[in-house]
Each structure stands twice: as structure tokens, then as C-alpha cells.
Amino acid sequence: MDFKIKHDIKGRLRVHILQKRMTCSQADKLMFYLQGFSFISCAKVYESTSDAAIFYSGNKESVIKALKDFSYNIDIDESFISSSGRELNSQYKEKLITKTVLYFGGKMFVPYPVRAVYTALRALKYIAKGILCLIKGKIEVSVLDAAAIGVSVLRGEMNTVGSVIYILGVGEILEEWTHKKSVGDIARSMSLNIKKVWLVNDEQEMLVSSSDIQIGDRVVVRMGNVIPFDGVVYSGEALVNQSSLTGEATAVRKEQDGYVYAGTVVEEGEIIITVKESTGSTRFEKIVAMIEDSQKLKSKVENRAEHLADSLVPYTLIGTGIVWALTRNATKALSVLMVDFSCALKLAIPLSVLSAIREAGRYGITVKGGKYLESVAKSDTIVFDKTGTLTKARPTVKKVYSFCTKSPDEMLRIAACLEEHFPHSMAKAVVRAAKEKGLVHEEMHSKVEYIVAHGIASYINETKVVIGSYHFVFEDEKCTIDEEYNDLFKSLPKEYSHLYLAEDSKLSAVICIEDPLREEAPSVIEALKSAGINKTVMMTGDNNHTAEAIANKTGINEFYSEVLPEDKAAFIEKEKMSGSAVIMVGDGINDSPALSAADVGVAISDGAEIAREIADITIAADSLNEIVTLKVLSDRLMKRIDLNYRLIVGINAFLIVLGIGGFIMPTTSALLHNASTLAISVKSMRNLL
């Protein structure tokens, strides 16, 4: 590809692509290509100017070579282009520019008689819409628009009609654009990002890249994992959570020959599916349709604004009638009709919410609906899971103690063989430790069974093997310790979390895992308290000693140790019944019930897929600071909405007074009203942080 360098500073390169015109599709292809290099941290492509800004690490020559090697003929996932939003932005920018050029160009170059006829014809659409609304027995904003435009047409004030229609049109474009972009942003962040899947081949399971899967292949999906492809159940049985596509939280039972969809989550059970769609590209469109059809985007303040807007219409019409009856002055009556509170309320409030959702996305925060931002703003209690949430998402294995004749490395190898099938930070730590030691293993066990918040059970050569918590291994499975190892067991270091491995009901190993506290956790807890969170709680399945140490270091108000998933959910329900609004933050399968029970469920993105699917908000950044960002953003959103209410009422009331007093004409009233509506709406789209 031919290009020239326009600007060059260390770590950043701006280039101009030497071609007449760059299409949106070409811009997406170039951006997709550039983002595929590890030395490029960020790339932005501007199709309107055929420029690209590239942020990189390392040496500049690597970037230049990559650009030279680029061709528009590269293979690219079509779902990336279809969901990028670039075409949408270009389309709506063009609509706005066209509308503005036609309006002002017409006023300058088109004779008034011709313009008046054209404006009258356009007015018919709004008048017809108002009449249709009345026929349905409703008095809404469209009736008010129709009345204002219709009276102005009858009075021959076509410039006023033209101004009103232009402002209404711009408002509609801005609202539609912001809504579609926000929906697209949410859908993109909810789309699949599954890199590895378990391929079943001749009864053997192999971990392969999802891009290698073909139609007809069979993949196994276990509890807590996202189904990566559309397909038919070949064997097994599972409860599948389809809320990300249908909006319904109740899991659906899937058996042999049942159809499953990409992006849904296995809540319980295990299934092998025969792949029918290997790309999962329809996932984006399905999510968009679900969001568009549901009321998830609507917060209470949005619904209140809509209802208030419609309920004010009759009062505006009555006010117009009263002014005319008292003054017999049609001009003063029309001044009231030209100024209504409703369109500003209907436009500015939803734009505020949708813009806040979009802004949250810039900080790696995915918000699945406006009502969740409102709930965060109202929340006074926050509950944290410990492992992978308050502690780092990458715990590490510090030591393995063998309680049998086998070596610690052999025990670690067995543990990794079992743990690699399940999405939990502790399991990932075991698998990572085995990999770092080069402990390669073949699948040596039979079917594995995962018991939520407890552990894993399986068989190796007819020997039952269990791995998990103390409660699971010693209390549920009744495992024992050989006497000769009692002293070793008592001397296990208490500063670590312990994972117990037993064979044939005998303890055979203890894996000590260091789960260090996130550096930012204490400051985050303090910042949340300053932001209005009165009660901070930590709940964990870990032992009391470890839990107490973490709680003391972070400054958390309350902590509960050795709790089960249902205990977390029950605690949250109890808090809600006492009048508290609760945020739950977690990352594991065992956090799912609590995430569902809370007013707002927040999932840390490195955790289990089911936690991300069930949660109302997902944080992609590897930092708890984004929880503070979320709280501050939500609080500022509510303040902006309150300010919008005051501005809308104040400005419009002032214009009505000026109109009734005869200080301004209806044309000026309409212009100032619509201009203020547009100004408040544009202001509502500005960043909050």
C-alpha cells in the first residue's frame, strides 16, 4: 500500500493513504489489520481524509513495513465490518450535513413562493401524524407539533414552519443516531470473544483455536462456559441461559437434537454440540434486535421523562386556549403553542443516558441498560467476592505439598489435567503453573463433574479423584489424612489459599496458592465510601484467616468467610429487604446467583463467561478503579438529568412569559425554543468525566 508520513513522534505515527477516496469498508479492513500486530497498541483510521493514526511500541520500521505489506484483499471477519459502526456514523453525518445545507441553501437561493409551497407540503406529514394520534384517542407531542405547524401555516408564517420542521428534523436525526450508536456499542461489547474451544475427536478432547472449527465439528461445552457456535446437541443435557439473546433469565433445558445458539451460557450440565454456524457472525445482529425490542435501555428517569412529556401536552393546549380567551390575541396564544416542554424532555433525557452508556464504554465498562446506571447512582451497599475481584485475577501456585508417595510435580500434573476444563482463576493458576514447569499431560481421566463453589470429581484408572475446597474434600467427600502426614498438614502456611487433592478418599496433595491483594483495592474502597457507599462487604468461600487479613488491609466494613453461592444471594436479598440498594462485584461461576440477586451485578471480565453474561455491567479493565469511575459517572449522569429538568422548565417558562407579554413574536418563540432544545440535547451528549 502506498502512503506518506504526515506526522511522526516517538510512539505515534500519522500517515496519509495515497488513494482518491477511502470507503468505510476499506477503513475497517486497515484498522482490523493494524490491530493484529502486538507492537501496535492502538490504531485509528479516518475514511473521510484517508488518514491513519498509529500508536506503537518498539521501532517505527516495523510499522512502516506492516503498512507497505497491507492489501485490501486480506481475509477479514465480516462481523467486524458489519458491527464496527463506521458506516452508521458516516450515514448520519451525511444526513445532518445534507439537511443543514438544504435548509440554509434554500433560504438563500430558492424564491419564497417556491419555498413556501415546498414547506407546506412537508408540513402535511406532521399534521397528518398529529391527526392520527388524536384518532387513536391520544394527546401526545405529535399533536402539539401538528397544532403549532398547522396554525402557523394558516397564518401564512411559512418561515416559522420551515424553522420548526428543520429543528424537529435535526433533533430526530441526533436522537436516532445516538440511540443506534449506543445500542451498537453495547452489542459489540456483548459479542463473542472466544479464542479456544474443546474439540471432540474420536472421543478425545483437544483444546484448539475457535477459528479452526468447521461446520460439522463437535465441541464440548461445560457448566459456566459460553456456547461458541450455533449448533445441535449431539449428546448430553444442560440448562442454558439465553438471556443475552432473548432477555429471559430463566434457563432452558437442552437435550439431544435441541438447537443451541452462540453466546448463550451453560448454567448446569454438559453438552457436546454439532456445529451448524462456524462464525457466530449473527450474534451481533441478534443482540441488537434483543436490545432494540427490550426495555433494558430505559431507566426510570427516561420513562418518567416520556410520561411527563406526553402528560404536559394537554396543559400546553389548555394554556394556549386560556391565553386566547383572555387576550383575544392569536399571536400571544400562538407564542404558548410554539413553546412546549415535552420535546425537550423526550430528547434530552434519553440522550443523556445513552451518551453516558457510550462514555462508560471508553473506560472498558459495558453497561447493558440505562436503568443500571441509575441503580448504581442510588446504591449505598457494595458486596465483593474475594478471589479474582479484590485479589488479583492471576493468582499463582507457590508450593505443592505431597501427602503420598508421588512427587509434588506429579500431583500438580494431575491437578492441571482436571482443572483445565473449568473457568476459575484458581483453576487457571494451577494450569499455568503446570505449563511453566513443562508438565505436559494427555487426558487421563474419565468425564469430569464440576460442583459449583466446591470442586471437581473424576476417575483416573477407576480411582476416584477429587480436588477443591476443604469443605468439599473433607466434609462432603469424607476424605481422610494418613497419620504420618498429620504434622505436615498442621504446618501448612496459613497465608496462602489451599486447594486439596484426594485420591480414593485419601488426601494426596495440597496446592498452596498466593492470591495477592490488588494494589488499588484499599484506595478503591475508600473512594467508594467517599462517593456515597455506606456499607462495603466481602464474601468468600476461603478460610476465615485469609478473609480477615484481606478485610483488614482493604478497610472493608464486614466480611464473611466459607460461604456458598446461595449464602451470597441470600445476604443480598436480606440487604434489599432492609431498604438498601446493592451492587455485587464478582468474577466466578459461584457469583452468578448473587449477581442476579443484586440491584446491579458487576462482573470482572477475566472471570467466568456465565458471570459476564448474567451481570448487568462488565468491567474489561484489569483494575478496580473502574468501579469508582462507574459510580462517579452514574452520579454525574443523575445530576445532569436534574439540571436538564431545571433548564427545560426555566427556559421554556421564560419564553412563554415573554410571548404572552408581547415581547417576542411566535416565530422568535419557536426559534428560541427549538434552539434551546437542540443546545440542551447537544450538551447532554458531552462527556461526563
Q: How does pLDDT run across 214-230, given as a tens digit for each residue?
A: 888 999 988 777 888 88
- 566 CB burial (10 A radius; 0-12, 13-18, 19+): middle
Which three cell numbers, joined as nine digits, stand for 99?
439537511
Kindly state whether residues 469 and 571 are assigned to the same domain. Answer: no
Kindly state whether residues 218 and 346 are assigned to the same domain. Answer: no
Strand, coil or helix: what is 654?
helix
- Grade residue 294 by pLDDT with cuts at 50, 70 and 90: very low
Domain boundary among the residues 49, 76, 103 is at 76
- Of 129-143, 211-225, 283-297, 457-471, the one with minimum mean pLDDT is 283-297
Please indicate, yes or no, if residue 628 is contained in any of the structural domains: no
Please indicate, yes or no, if residue 103 is contained in any of the structural domains: yes
Average pLDDT over residues 527-548: 88
Which three cell numbers, joined as nine digits, stand for 508?
494426596
How far apart are alpha carbons 462 and 74 in whole angstroms? 51
Percent of the chain clearing pLDDT 70 (strictly above) = 85
Does pLDDT of 517 surpass 90?
Answer: no
Residue 260's pLDDT is: 87
Domain boundary among the residues 279, 313, 341 is at 279
- List Cβ<8 Å contacts ≥24 apart for 166-171: 166/99, 166/103, 167/674, 167/675, 167/677, 167/678, 168/126, 168/343, 168/674, 169/99, 170/96, 170/99, 170/100, 170/678, 171/343, 171/347, 171/674, 171/677, 171/678, 171/681
The separation between the first and the last C-alpha atoms of the chain, rounded to the nearest angstrom, is: 39
- Of 309-318, 487-496, 534-543, the one with minimum mean pLDDT is 309-318
Kindly state whether residues 510 and 428 are assigned to the same domain. Answer: yes
Each residue of 578-618: pLDDT tens digit?
Answer: 999 999 998 766 777 888 889 999 988 665 566 666 788 88
Residue 152's pLDDT is: 85
- Short-list 126, 158, 281, CA closest to 215: 281
- Of 193-197, 412-416, 571-575, the one with minimum mean pLDDT is 193-197
Average pLDDT over residues 120-146: 88
CA of residue 367 relative to chain centroid, distance = 4
Residue 303's pLDDT is: 67
**Domain harbouring 527, CATH code:** 3.40.50.1000
Kindly state whether residues 536 and 558 are assigned to the same domain. Answer: yes
Kindly state whether residues 465 and 522 are assigned to the same domain. Answer: no
Q: What is the 3-state secondary structure (H, E, C) of 392-441?
A: CCCCEEEEEEECCCCCHHHHHHHHHHHHCCCCCHHHHHHHHHHHHCCCCC
How far apart are alpha carbons 652 and 589 in whole angstroms? 52
Contact 96, 170 (CB under 8 A): yes
Kindly state whether residues 308 and 175 are assigned to the same domain. Answer: yes
Kindly state whether residues 504 and 572 are assigned to the same domain. Answer: no
Average pLDDT over residues 324-339: 81
Kindly state whether residues 468 and 374 are assigned to the same domain. Answer: no
Name which residue leads in pLDDT, 281 or 655.
655
Please indicate, yes or no, if residue 377 is contained in any of the structural domains: yes
Report which listed range, 20-24, 87-91, 166-170, is most confident.
20-24
Kindly state whether residues 441 and 485 are assigned to the same domain. Answer: yes
- Grade residue 296 by pLDDT with cuts at 50, 70 and 90: low
Please indicate, yes or no, if residue 284 is contained in any of the structural domains: no
Please indicate, yes or no, if residue 205 is contained in any of the structural domains: yes
- Grade residue 630 by pLDDT with cuts at 50, 70 and 90: very high
Sort strands 455-460 and 463-468 into parallel, antiparallel or unpaired.
antiparallel
Does pLDDT of 200 surpass 90?
Answer: no
> Residues 6 or more apart from 214 whose CB is under 8 A from it?
275, 278
- Grade residue 295 by pLDDT with cuts at 50, 70 and 90: very low
Residue 187's pLDDT is: 63
Strand order in the sheet with 600-604: 365-367, 617-619, 600-604, 582-586, 381-385, 535-539, 558-560
CA of residue 608 relative to chain centroid, distance = 15
Residue tagged 479484590 (cell numbers): 390
Please indicate, yes or no, if residue 630 is contained in any of the structural domains: no
Domain boundary among the residues 514, 539, 565 is at 514
- Of 86-90, 422-426, 463-467, 590-594, the one with minimum mean pLDDT is 422-426
Kindly state whether residues 470 and 424 are assigned to the same domain. Answer: yes
Residue tagged 444442560 (cell numbers): 238
Bridge partners for 396 per DSSP: 514
Each residue of 262-292: pLDDT tens digit?
Answer: 878 887 788 999 988 765 545 555 656 655 5
Residue 489's pLDDT is: 92
Helices (H), 35-85: 60-69, 78-82
Kindly state whether residues 178 and 311 are assigned to the same domain. Answer: yes
Give one DSSP letter per residue of 346-399, joined into a string: HHHHHHHHHHHHHHHHHTTEEES-HHHHHHHHH--EEEEEIIIIIB-SS-EEEE
Average pLDDT over residues 652-670: 83
Strand, coil or helix: what is 47?
coil
Each residue of 33-65: pLDDT tens digit?
Answer: 888 888 888 888 998 899 999 999 888 899 999
**Domain harbouring 449, CATH code:** 3.40.1110.10
Please indicate, yes or no, if residue 288 is contained in any of the structural domains: no
Residue 155's pLDDT is: 84
**How high does pLDDT run on average in the chain?**
83
- Grade residue 400 by pLDDT with cuts at 50, 70 and 90: very high
Residue 116's pLDDT is: 92
Each residue of 74-83: pLDDT tens digit?
Answer: 776 555 665 6
Kindly state whether residues 500 and 419 are assigned to the same domain. Answer: yes
Provide the number of structural domains found in the chain: 5
Q: What residue numbers bound the domain in which 202 lies?
A: 196-279
Q: Of all helices (H) and strands (E), which one includes residue 140?
A: none
Please indicate, yes or no, if residue 272 is contained in any of the structural domains: yes
- Short-list 84, 67, 89, CA closest to 14: 67
> Residues 6 or more apart from 199 whose CB is under 8 A from it?
205, 206, 207, 208, 212, 213, 217, 218, 219
Residue 247's pLDDT is: 53
Does pLDDT of 209 surpass 70?
Answer: yes
Average pLDDT over residues 110-139: 91
